[in-house]
Amino acid sequence: MKKNTGPPKSAVPAAPVNLDGLLNQLRTLIVQARQQALRAVDVVQVRTCWEMGRHIVEFEQGGAERAEYGAKLLPRLAERLTAEFGKGFDERNLRHMRAFFRTFPIWNALRSELSWTHYRLLMQVEDCRAREWYMVEAATQNWGTRALERQIGTLYYERLLASRDRPPVREEAMQNLAALEQSPREFVRDPVMLEFLGLPNTGKLLESKLEQALIENLQAFLLELGKGFAFVARQQRISTESKDFYLDLVFYNYLLKCFVLFDLKTNELAHQDIGQMDMYVRMYDEQKRGPDDNPTVGIILCARKDASVVRYSVLQGNEQLFASKYKLVLPTEEEFRAELEREQRMLESVSESERITK
């Protein structure tokens, strides 16, 4: 029988294999593994620093003999530990560890989500109530160390207290986010600190330039605004039958479940600005608000505002309209506290005037 000497039949080509799905799964696993490893290292480091601080404090409290020895204790420990384990155990770090245990003497009260650098920053907060609040917020809001440092530096806690207008504000502000009453007034910052924009604090600032700077630094702006904000649109159009209007910035707050409109004003707040924002909010409610959304909130972000304009306008007592000042340069802590005290005196004066007129 004659053999077939022709060319062999070509094999059916295999279908191309799409590796993208597999690669994405593997990338996710690797990233998660690295994050877990870093978190495990943070937890071990925090525990080690806390335990070292505990041992040092307990040694120093061991009687008069050890108390006399205490002045030379840390330098001697630092010299021996640094020689054996490296510069991470110098005298300065040992002092931080001792202060760590004294500041947080109960291990179970600490948050495992936070790193040693977080706790180094928290130890700088003198008010124990503020310090505990920052710790809880940093853990629940997943603040990095730079975010925590900025929030402490801008007196985020103090501004939150100052923004509330009811007597039990201090106690309520110390509660976790879930326990806070979720109303627009709880979420509006005044003043809003925009020092991260790097804009000059002198000369005429165009509103368009301010808007562009906020968009370019959107992540930092969201951090300053606070909890639950998500960016929606810039220069969003809303229309009547004959005219178009453009909203500077639109956000959605998923905790309040409502849209939040921002109108930027680089001059002093005027009553026309308030009327304009009132119209914007009403139009947005009618045209954009969904059936499951709460009423729209409008915030006029202005360079300056007169307390009398606020008091005698629709802003007074309105839970949907607000005017907040912005600052392009971060004030000192003394300037911050002085401003808070001035605003407190102003509120007390207004309350007293209203009481007399009644």
- pLDDT tens-place string over residues 269-311: 888 889 899 999 999 999 999 888 999 999 999 888 877 788 7
Cis peptide before 191 (omega within 30 of 0): yes
Mutual orientation of helices 333-357 and 156-163 as an angle, nearest 10°? 10
Beta carbons of 226 and 297 less than 8 angstroms apart: no
User: What are the structure tokens assigned to 6, written together?
Assistant: 């022709």
- Tokens, residue 177: 């986010």
The pLDDT-based confidence of 181 (bands split at 50, 70, 90) is very low
47 and 134 share one domain? no
Helix axes of 91-103 and 64-85: crossing angle, nearest 10 degrees: 120
Q: Beta strands 192-193 and 229-239: pairing type?
A: unpaired
Q: Which residue has the tokens 């009423």?
A: 295
Say what the pLDDT of residue 163 is.
Answer: 62
**Do 283 and 245 have their domain in common?**
yes
pLDDT of res. 323: 86
- Encode pLDDT of 243-275 as tens digits: 999 999 999 988 888 999 999 998 888 888 898
Report the share of the chain in percent with pLDDT over 70. Answer: 74
Give yes or no: residues 226 and 249 share one domain. Answer: yes
Which residue from 204, 198, 234, 192 is spatially nearest to 217, judged by alpha carbons? 198
Q: What element of type H or E holds 278?
A: helix 271-287
As a whole number, the mean pLDDT across the chain is: 78
Residue 314 lies in a domain: yes
What pLDDT does 327 receive?
78
For residue 321, give the 3-state DSSP assignment.
strand
Domain that holds residue 139: 111-182
| 16 domain-assigned | no
Amino acid making up residue 282: R
**Residue 143 pLDDT:** 82
Whether residue 8 lies inside any domain: the answer is: no
Asked if pLDDT for residue 23 goes beyond 70, the answer is: yes
Supply the pLDDT for residue 149: 84
Listed residues 134, 151, 182: the one ending a domain: 182
* pTM for the structure as a whole: 0.56
- Looking at residues 339-348, what average pLDDT do you find? 60
Better-predicted residue by pLDDT, 69 or 313: 313
Q: In terms of domains, do 153 and 200 share one? A: no
pLDDT at 178: 43
Judge if 253 and 318 occupy the same domain.
Answer: yes
Last residue of a domain, one of 80, 109, 138: 109
Is 14 within a domain? no
180 pLDDT tier (thresholds 50, 70, 90): very low
Please determine, for residue 174, whether its predicted confidence score (pLDDT) is greater than 50: no
**Is residue 22, in this structure, part of any structural domain at all?**
no
Between 22 and 350, the higher pLDDT residue: 22
- Clarify whether residues 133 and 59 are in a common domain: no
Predicted pLDDT of residue 153:
83
Residue 285 pLDDT: 92
- pLDDT tens-digit map of 34-50: 666 666 777 888 888 99
Higher pLDDT, 278 or 173: 278
Number of structural domains the chain divides into = 4
Q: How confident is the model at residue 333 (pLDDT cuts 50, 70, 90)?
A: low
Higher pLDDT, 161 or 48: 48
- Paired residues of 230 in beta bridges: 252
- The answer to whether residues 102 and 115 belong to one domain is no
pLDDT in tens, 103-146: 999 988 899 889 899 999 999 998 898 899 899 988 888 788 88
Confidence check: pLDDT of 172 > 50: no
305 and 252 share one domain: yes
- Region 190-199: what's the mean pLDDT? 76
**pLDDT given at position 169:** 39
pLDDT band of residue 353 (cuts 50, 70, 90) is: low
For residues 136 and 222, membership in a common domain is answered with no
